[in-house]
Structure 1
Amino acid sequence: MIQLRAALLLPLLAAAPLAPDRHAWLEEIEGPRAIAQVKEWNADAAKILTASPGFAATRDRARALLEDDQRIATPNTVNGETVLNLWQDGKNPRGLWRAASLDSFASGKPAWRVLIDVDALGKAEGKSWVWKGADCRAPRYDRCLVSLADGGTDAVVVREFDIAAAKFVEGGFALPNAKTNVDWAGDDALYVATDYGAGSLTTSGYARIVKRWQRGTPLASATVVGEGIEKDVRVGTRVFNDGGTAYPVFERGVDFFNSEVSHIAGDRLIRSPLPTDAEIEDVLDGRMIARLQSPWQGRAAGTLVAYAIADVVAGKAPVIETVLVPTARQSIEQVAAGKGVVWVKLLDDVSGKLVALTRTASGWQAAPQPLAANSTVQLNAVAGVRDLAFVTVEGMLTPPTLYAVVPGVPARAVQSLPARFDASAMTVEQRFAKSKDGTRVPYFIVRKKGVRGPVPALVHAYGGFRAAQTPTYLVEQPYRAGPVALFQVERGNAFVLANIRGGGEYGPAWHQAALREKRQNAFDDLHAVAEDLIRTKVSAAKRIAISGRSNGGLLVGVAMEQRPDLYGAVIMGSPLIDMQRYSKLSAGASWMGEYGNPDVPADWAFIGKYSPYQNVQAGKNYPAPFIYTSTKDDRVHPGHARKFAAALGETGTRFYYDEAIEGGHAAGADRLADAQRAALIDAYLTRELSSSSASTSAPQAARVRSSR
């Protein structure tokens, strides 16, 4: 759930003046004229790139890698004595939702029972269903609220599902398509935050009202639990289950990073004593566990704290307990409570660590769990009935291994993947670049041993929303164009993962260093990594490609305009581009805590300096970007990508464009779509980073037909 903070009252200021937008028609998501232009751009790029030597073989290999049955069956959740998993492969691109006993799964030999065949369900119902998760009724876990999206949007339909019968409940709970937040409020009631009609949504397009819906009654008669105001980001609930007891909270989102959190006690809402920017994590032994994002009561930002919920509900001032204090080089990334243990996944100089925390008479005790050093650790799921966690450990050259971890005993491998490529000839190392203001910026680099530079380099970065970028196996990196990184390294090129400011690699301060008016720090960090690659002769100017999705798409859009001398290729996925209108498109208003409000002149003064759409200039030698998005992306509006392509085309700048019809913000509804896009990107990189002049070898067909 998005975290929020009470907004400060701003003086009444005139909105930033809007320049006439000749490309506003491209914001019409399904507009016939806009779709015709998208199809033309798609065809232009496909004609060029699919004709590249070896394209079909690259696409087929990408698909084989992405759909290979030899993959970790990652536990999505552990419900009591049952493990739930969504399995996708070549035969089941949308997935099989299935269940196995906890014992069989932990033994490494799960006996799976299929609950829902998502592909078959979509075919039977004439829908392009994409799985969006399930919330099951605790502590019996016999009924689940299943969320499905037609085409992969953030908006979902919700239906009640019977686990034992493996079918949807006839006459059970059901909610129509909307951006819905739903939780169980007992055996026969739900907390529902959804679109209730006119006036029930925030300006961000999310629910403004939470109601309690009793089984057997119409949704229209549901009683209000809590509500926010229209300018809030969203409202919703979370229900934490601890030893059979449910602890529900109501969250009123004010901006992306701040929430007014209240405990639900009958028909009362009782405010949490935590600061509004604290992140609620879980409940153990009746204690709310939370992570601080700013200093509070003498505790540093990043500290994990706890308090007794019963004291707050009773009107008492709770004792705030310090659970864990990370060092200056550490960041807490994941927190989950088991039966008697709080599991914490840390980053330590961007390397993963796992810690088990227990509460004793003398305070909270931390026990580091021995796992492979210099690896990425993912806390997949935690059992609530045992002190057992499932953790994936991997590296860029090391295939994933899923471990079952119990405090005090060596971790046991549940499933290990064989190597998917020959890593013996490759090397990975961590380096540090110095940014413009002197900040040390870490990055990882993978390349073949003994390769002498300069060679083409693909640099991926994100730099926002506290989201750390950690090194994972090269075969499949969902936010890094699938196996493209592997293909580049095998070809003798370099792949770089940059840990720039704005993410969560070093805790709250690392994120806050690139907030709002400090955004330029993230851009400077990316430039610094590129310059370090040149300084160390790994690569050379104009032979560096940069890649980013969503906020990362904004990052690389800015970078190509600020430093066209550095970059030879730019991969922009589902990008934010028009920062003057971003808060009015799809879910954009929810991100003003990150970027600022463009309608406030003081904010537009710094946003306008970097907004890619407003800063496109004729006569600049921009690299030709590969821009991809999805028509059904209801988070970052596809108009951003479309309008940027149009603006570039007007200046004579070449570009490649790929807009998937389905897939939502992920830009691909299944692995086949991901493989096609990976092959397109690989062909694009080969074309644009070749030693020959791309500006003369690339056809002009990718320009916009602005006279439409």
Structure 2
Amino acid sequence: MKRATLLSLASILVLAACGDQVATGDGDAREVVAGAAHTQDRLNYPTTRAVEQTDIYQSAAHGEVEVADPYRWLEEDVRVSPEVAAWVTAQNAVTNRYLENLPGRPAIAARLRELWNYERISVPAAREGRYFYAYNDGLQDQSVYMVREGLDGEARVLINPNELSDDGTVALAGTWPSPDGRYAAYMLQDGGSDWRIAQVIDVETGEALEDRIEWIKFSNLSWAKDGSGFFYSRYPQPEAGEEFTSLNMDQAIYFHALGTDQSEDRQIMADPENPEVSWRAGVSDDGDYLFIYSSAGTDGNAIHILDLTRDDAEPVAIFEGFDNNHSPVGNDGETFFFMTDLDAPNQRIVAVDLSDPSTLTDIIPAGDFPISAASHVGGHLIVRTFEDVRSVVRVHTLEGEEVREVELPGLGVASGFDGRPDSPETFYSFTSFNRPGTVYRYDVETGESTLFHEAPLTFDPDDYEVSQVFYESTGGVQVPMYIVHHRDVTPNGQQPTLLFGYGGFNIPMTPAFDVRRLQWMEMGGVFALANIRGGSEYGRDWHDGGRLANKQNVYDDFINAAEHLIELDWTSPANIAIEGRSNGGLLVGAVANQRPDLFAAALPGVGVMDMLRFNQFTAGRFWVSDYGSPQDPDMFDVLYAYSPLHNIPEGEGYPATLVTTADTDDRVVPSHSFKYIAALQAADTGTAPTLIRIETRAGHGAGTPVSMLIEETADKWAFIAFHTGLEVPQAQ
């Protein structure tokens, strides 16, 4: 493979020195020789109005605490407030002028388009001889939904979301073929919002039905056994102007019968006296039962079972309360299999008889590593475990006896393995840092894996080396970290390195392929993934070790990851960039505040930056289970101590920072990033730039068009390459 020609950072850079006139789109840029760096004194940020706003919180340690919030007005919806919209325009003008003049940015974008241009499909869903899956030919903004008649049949397009908008921002947000394969229900999202609209298509004719369901959020769809309709969850319609900011309350489960108006949908479950409780439903594989899930946050749920064969049936409680996590695996008549962390931090699989729901019988006891998923296929249980942050898959009988281990292609992560209890056919995808997702068909009876789809690549996976190290962090805990790089890159103490982390909500960071990281490594950068506490890499204990009062462990783990990379002679503080998104954006903001000396650049994406007001907007109230409530005096002290907005250090060299967010993010509302960057720009943080890139017609990440992702990544890589000393490709 031909390596890109490199342009030295010692080259002359044409830099825009953005004054007030630049922020409004007028005026000419000055040319500056960037022999050292872009500096803050050459950037004139838009003025952000400060207001006299203070709030009183109760602290366990200090009693009443008065906290200023001078940028409260930036919490107004950009679609509603002309002043916020003007501020966004001004900030983007400064940022765009800066990014456009970074060396090698056009070449980075061009190479990203080449690397991104490979076929991708999802794991197929089989329905009565039809196979349904998402497909992208490479650079399509949105993947299309396909159906194939038989394994060797010709595939045809069912739904092409690229035809639904001019800018590619309407995306498929879930697809559910009916049990007989006659219909496919699907959800659409517009502009990256979490709100969904559900519709139905006739698979044979390709014609859309008139059914249209609105105000769906945080829900699946689950078909009735006879295909007459489906169960779903939705919220009441918000007040006009509050669709993207108001708290999500009063969710309920409904059943929609095909061919009827949404106003006729039958309510299945709700709890008006407890509007904070969320509800979700799923039909059992045999179609006879409905699993009803309820929760009040992101950790812990209850499960009830409703017998759909009896009109007079009442839900039977299987797991009550929100102290533990449970999920159904399948059923064999009235015997149900569940995965649960009740009395099992690493999860176990139990059997429950509907006639005696209080008795749990271990089928697969908890082991040394956490069970990450399980399914009931072909009369067997397929169980996935996460062993030192890599997938291991085993097949068991319904009595728990191990039959075999599934032979995976290497070190990586496997997903899929869904199917029917009466069919041995299932599909799975395998991916690793240097290998895109490859899809296999698996026969549970024979144990044979056969290739279903593997895309031709524009790179050689063998050019990249993957290793795993362990380092010590707070409390003597050993934390795993992956280090990935081009085989020509070796430790020299100065390698530009991108360190990524998340650390929250029981979500593991896996050794999966990401073409954006590949491009960073192809340029010569090192990529490191730290599997810090707060996720589920080592079960519930690993999660608990990084949430609530233990949240500082997450930041310590990430800081120690950077220091370990230095100890291994890979890099230095002048060459380390850090990145994280959402809860990971919080991570980046917190550690940049705590150790600004340790990092050269920071990329906090769609981050939770105001830890005192996160629970006042949209889905933020759910996060109290991971963060704690700022209205709790004990947790106020914890949250206030690390909140990125409230702990920006003055008079110290802050990392070059590029905040990214989007105007339609109704998961982590963009005001988090708006207020944080306003505070950064107002503070004395040294000479490095502190910028914000605000995408329009985009949200928290899901459904973002490929073209937008390429442009955003090119901006980020050019930014951190410049500030970590990575030579970048010269435009051809």
TM-score over 0.5 for the alignment? yes
Tell me the alpha carbon deviations over residues 504-529 of structure 1, each in whole angstroms, 9 at most, x when there is no partner.
11111111111100001111111111
The reply on whether 1:414 has 2:452 as its aligned counterpart is yes
Query: 116, 122, 125: which is aligned to 2:159?
Result: 116
Query: 606, 617, 620: which is aligned to 2:649?
Result: 617
Distance 2:83 2:564 in 1: 45
- Which amino acid is the alignment partner of residue 94 of structure 1? Q
Query: 685, 692, 695: which is aligned to 1:657?
Result: 692
Residue matched to 1:522: 554
Tell me the alpha carbon deviations over residues 548-594 of structure 1, each in whole angstroms, 9 at most, x when there is no partner.
01110011110100111111111111111001000012210011101
The reply on whether 1:271 has 2:317 as its aligned counterpart is yes
Q: Is the 8 A contact 2:103 2:722 kept in 1?
A: no
Q: TM-score, normalised by structure 2?
A: 0.83
Q: Is the 8 A contact 1:204 1:590 kept in 2?
A: no
Q: Is the 8 A contact 2:236 2:251 kept in 1?
A: no
Deviation, 1:133, is 1.1
Query: 49, 60, 71: which is aligned to 2:110?
Result: 60
Distance 1:344 1:56 in 2: 45
Question: 1:629-708 alignment to 2 at 5 Å?
Answer: 629-653=661-685, 654-666=689-701, 669-690=704-725
Bigger CA drift: 142-151 or 669-678? 142-151
Aligned-pair RMSD on alpha carbons?
2.9
The reply on whether 1:325 has 2:365 as its aligned counterpart is yes
Aligned with 2:659: secondary structure? strand
Distance 1:215 1:373 in 2: 45
Aligned with 1:583: secondary structure? helix
Distance 2:259 2:422 in 1: 32
Deviation, 1:386, is 2.2
Residue matched to 2:17: none
Residue matched to 2:434: 397
Identity across the alignment (%): 24
Tell me the alpha carbon deviations over residues 398-449 of structure 1, each in whole angstroms, 9 at most, x when there is no partner.
4443222223333222223344324545422110111022110000112234
Query: 418, 434, 444: which is aligned to 2:472?
Result: 434
Residue matched to 2:481: 443
Do the aligned partners of residues 39 and 388 (structure 1) sit closer, same or farther apart at CA in structure 2, a change above 3 Å counting? same
The reply on whether 1:174 has 2:212 as its aligned counterpart is yes
Residue matched to 1:704: none
Bigger CA drift: 223-232 or 81-90? 223-232
Aligned with 1:59: secondary structure? helix
Distance 2:402 2:726 in 1: 57
Do the aligned partners of residues 179 and 493 (structure 1) sit closer, same or farther apart at CA in structure 2, a change above 3 Å counting? closer
Deviation, 1:215, is 5.2
Question: 1:19-38 alignment to 2 at 5 Å?
Answer: 19-29=67-77, 30=79, 31-38=81-88
Do the aligned partners of residues 15 and 33 (structure 1) sit closer, same or farther apart at CA in structure 2, a change above 3 Å counting? farther
Question: 1:118-517 alignment to 2 at 5 Å?
Answer: 118-122=161-165, 128-138=169-179, 140-170=180-210, 173-179=211-217, 181=219, 182-185=221-224, 187-197=227-237, 204-214=247-257, 219-220=262-263, 222-229=265-272, 233-242=276-285, 244-265=286-307, 266=311, 267-273=313-319, 276=322, 277-286=324-333, 287-295=335-343, 300-308=344-352, 311-312=353-354, 314=355, 316-317=356-357, 319-328=359-368, 330-360=369-399, 363-379=400-416, 381-382=418-419, 386-407=423-444, 408-447=446-485, 448-449=487-488, 451-454=490-493, 455-473=495-513, 477=514, 482-483=515-516, 485-517=517-549
Q: TM-score, normalised by structure 1?
A: 0.85
Tell me the alpha carbon deviations over residues 470-493 of structure 1, each in whole angstroms, 9 at most, x when there is no partner.
1123xxx2xxxx51x223323333
Residue matched to 1:699: none
Q: Is the 8 A contact 1:203 1:230 kept in 2?
A: no
Question: 1:568-579 alignment to 2 at 5 Å?
Answer: 568-579=600-611
Residue matched to 2:590: 558
Q: Is the 8 A contact 1:239 1:246 kept in 2?
A: no
- Which amino acid is the alignment partner of residue 283 of structure 2? F
The reply on whether 1:85 has 2:133 as its aligned counterpart is yes
- Which amino acid is the alignment partner of residue 100 of structure 1? R
Do the aligned partners of residues 638 and 78 (structure 1) sit closer, same or farther apart at CA in structure 2, a change above 3 Å counting? farther
Do the aligned partners of residues 679 and 414 (structure 1) sit closer, same or farther apart at CA in structure 2, a change above 3 Å counting? same
Distance 1:80 1:385 in 2: 12
Deviation, 1:317, is 4.2
Do the aligned partners of residues 79 and 655 (structure 1) sit closer, same or farther apart at CA in structure 2, a change above 3 Å counting? farther
- Which amino acid is the alignment partner of residue 666 of structure 1? G
Distance 2:692 2:302 in 1: 42
The reply on whether 1:605 has 2:665 as its aligned counterpart is no
Residue matched to 2:12: none
Residue matched to 2:22: none
Q: Is the 8 A contact 1:306 1:321 kept in 2?
A: yes
Distance 1:18 1:211 in 2: 44
Distance 2:467 2:261 in 1: 59
Distance 1:351 1:152 in 2: 31
Bigger CA drift: 56-65 or 527-536? 56-65
Q: Is the 8 A contact 1:193 1:207 kept in 2?
A: no
Residue matched to 1:698: none
Aligned with 2:618: secondary structure? coil
Bigger CA drift: 14-23 or 458-467? 14-23
- Which amino acid is the alignment partner of residue 444 of structure 1? Y
Distance 1:590 1:678 in 2: 30
State how many pairs are aligned: 649
Deviation, 1:42, is 1.8
- Which amino acid is the alignment partner of residue 335 of structure 1? A
Deviation, 1:294, is 3.8
Bigger CA drift: 667-676 or 14-23? 14-23
Residue matched to 1:6: none
Distance 1:16 1:344 in 2: 51
Bigger CA drift: 649-658 or 86-95? 86-95
The reply on whether 1:95 has 2:143 as its aligned counterpart is yes
- Alignment gaps of 5+ in structure 1: 1-10, 105-109, 693-708
- Which amino acid is the alignment partner of residue 40 of structure 1? A
Distance 1:612 1:184 in 2: 44
- Which amino acid is the alignment partner of residue 176 of structure 2? D
